[in-house]
Every structure is written in structure tokens, then in C-alpha cells.
Amino acid sequence: MKTRAILLLLLFILVASGSAHAQESILDLSVSPDLLQVAVGGRALLAIEIENRSTHEADDVEVIWASGAGVVPEEPLEPIDSIAAFSDGLVHAIVVADPDLEAGIMSVPIEIIYTYCIGELCFQIVEPLELMIEIVEAAAEQPDVVVPPPDAESNLPWQAGSGGLALVLLLAAGILRRTRRAPWLVALLIAVVAVGAITIGVLDGQHEQAQGIGAVLCTSCVGLEIARTEEPALSSEGIEALEGITEEIELIVFSAPWCHACPYAKGLVALMAETCDRITYMVSNVDEEPELAELHGVIRANRTVVPAVLRVDTGEVVFGVEDLEVRLLEMFGRAE
């Protein structure tokens, strides 16, 4: 009874922490200062802090400034190639205020665009961010603005130490269980490890990341899949099914240069078109044709999900490459 009560308590804690911290973004974004003061015709330093609490890298992180805002970066902002799992990135911008601006508070919209791949599925995500800027009257002398050097951070390996402690506790629980001694102590040790793991996850932001990944995946109704890196090939059953197609089928393969699995999807569709002359297809680069991708649900709520294969006449879309041959044959009405 005690063991069951402990397990029920742990389940309640886990569900409560997950529901209390639900969010949709993968990266946590913040700006410093919260209200940036810029003199009319002057310059000021803005820091955009990007926090990745994910188990995967965020790649090609780019800050896109709204055009015609009146306050713009002095120089183009350099993108961040990659922000590693559980790491932070920082973008400094020296911004310049137009000399024709009037004093007051204004809002400047920017976008943080980045790529996030989970297995074979790659998402390009656009996160909007509003900058609050106060325009003040120009002073007689404007102070010089200098970008500070990056701070060196030292991360103590406390996660590794806590993992070792958890292993020791589990080994002790296993020994006690085999010797049939103190069953209540076995349950207590397991409960301590479970609560500790939940606590560490919460402190490290993993509960938020789990919710964030779920939010991204729910926008496209796709799941986690194992990456496919081999050359595409058709099975003998697939070839036979394709040879029996009697109707014209037109496909669009949505792809992107940053997508890891798109070459496989394009290659498999090309093989199908070679096998069956009633299948025609075109490849659409979602970066160059975002309107087409949005029209067919490949871009939803600022999330771009590729690879995706669309059957034009029915509007059906298949995402990812796991079991892609079978799923395409089902879309063609040729699956057994």
C-alpha cells in the first residue's frame, strides 16, 4: 500500500508540473534592457538572449528586424550557427534611431528564425518578439556604444554527480530487493530517485522543453521517427502496386535546404515517378515558395514541417519519411 501511495504521489507531481508549465516555444527569448532608451539620431546597445532548454541543437538562429521601424541595427546581425542543447546564445545589436523620430515609446517587431530537427523531421520555427523602445531627446554629447566581450561561463557538472548518486541508490535498492530485506526502504529509495529526477528536470527546464516539443509536433500531427540516411529504394511489392495505377497522380514534394531527410523523400518520389509514368511531381522549396507551403498546411502557426508530400487532386499530405513507401501507396489507394 505504501509503494502504491508513493507512486500515485509521484504521478500527480509529474502531471501537475507538466500542465503548469505548458508553453509553445522551443527557445526562451528575452531582451536586455526591457525598455531600451535611444536618443533621436543616436545609438544604443541591445542584447537579445536566446536560451535553448532542448535536448537537440537549434541551428541557423537568425534575428530578422522589421523594415521601416525607425530604429534599426547599425550593421547586419550575424546569425548564430548553432546553440547546443541546454545552452544559451546572445546577439548584441547596436541600434540607431532615425533623426526624424519624435520622443516617445514605440514597439518594434522582430522575428527569431531557427531550425530544429527531431530525428528525420525538421522544423523551421519563427518566434515573434516585440522590442519596447523609448525615444528621448538628443543630448549635447552622445556616449560611445561598445559591444562587450562574451562572458566566459563555467558550468559545474552537478548533473553528472546527481546521476551517479541516483545510480548508487538504485543499486542499493536492487540489493535490498534481492535479499528481501526492508521492502519499505526499497520503495523509499526508488521514490527518492524518482522525485530527484523530476526536480532536476524542472530546475533544468526539461519539463518546459517536453511541452514545447509536444506543441510543435501537435501543429502538424506527426510523431518522433528514426532518421533515414540510406539511399531510397522500392520494394518488389511497391513496384507491383505502382504498375497497377491507372489514374493520373500529381505530387508536390515540399523540401528545404536545412532539412535532413528531404533528399530521401525526393529520391523515393522520383523512383515512383520513374516506375509509373502516370505519376508526375514537382519539388517546392519552402524557403522560396512559403505561400504554397502555407496553402497546403506545410506551414502552420509559424512552424514549417518538412519533408512533406502532397497529392494535388485530393489535398492529402504525408509528413516525414518513416514507412514513406507504404504511406504514399495508401495515399494512391494501392496499399494492401
Domain boundaries, the chain: 27-136, 163-218, 236-332
Top CATH class of 236-332 equals alpha beta
What pLDDT does 66 receive?
82
Whether 12 shows a pLDDT value over 50: the answer reads no
Largest CA distance in the chain: 82
Q: What proportion of the chain, given as a percentage, has pLDDT over 90?
A: 40
Whether 20 shows a pLDDT value over 90: the answer reads no
Position 234 confidence tier, pLDDT thresholds 50, 70, 90: very high
Region for residue 333 given its phi and psi (left: phi exceeds 0; alpha: psi -120 to 50; beta: otherwise): left
Domain 27-136 fold: Immunoglobulin-like (2.60.40)
CA distances from 84 to 55, 58, 122, 203, 251 (A): 8, 7, 16, 18, 36
Which of 55 and 253 is assigned the larger pLDDT? 253
Between CA 182 and CA 250 the distance in angstroms is 68
Calculate mean pLDDT across residues 36-47.
91
Contact 134, 95 (CB under 8 A): no
Q: What is the torsion angle, in degrees rounded to the nearest 10, for the CA atoms of residue 69, residue 96, residue 135 and residue 151?
A: 110
Of 320, 315, 228, nearest in space to 331 by CA: 315
The SS3 assignment for 328 reads helix
What pLDDT does 328 receive?
94
Query: What is the pTM for the complete model shown?
Result: 0.59
Contact 112, 91 (CB under 8 A): no
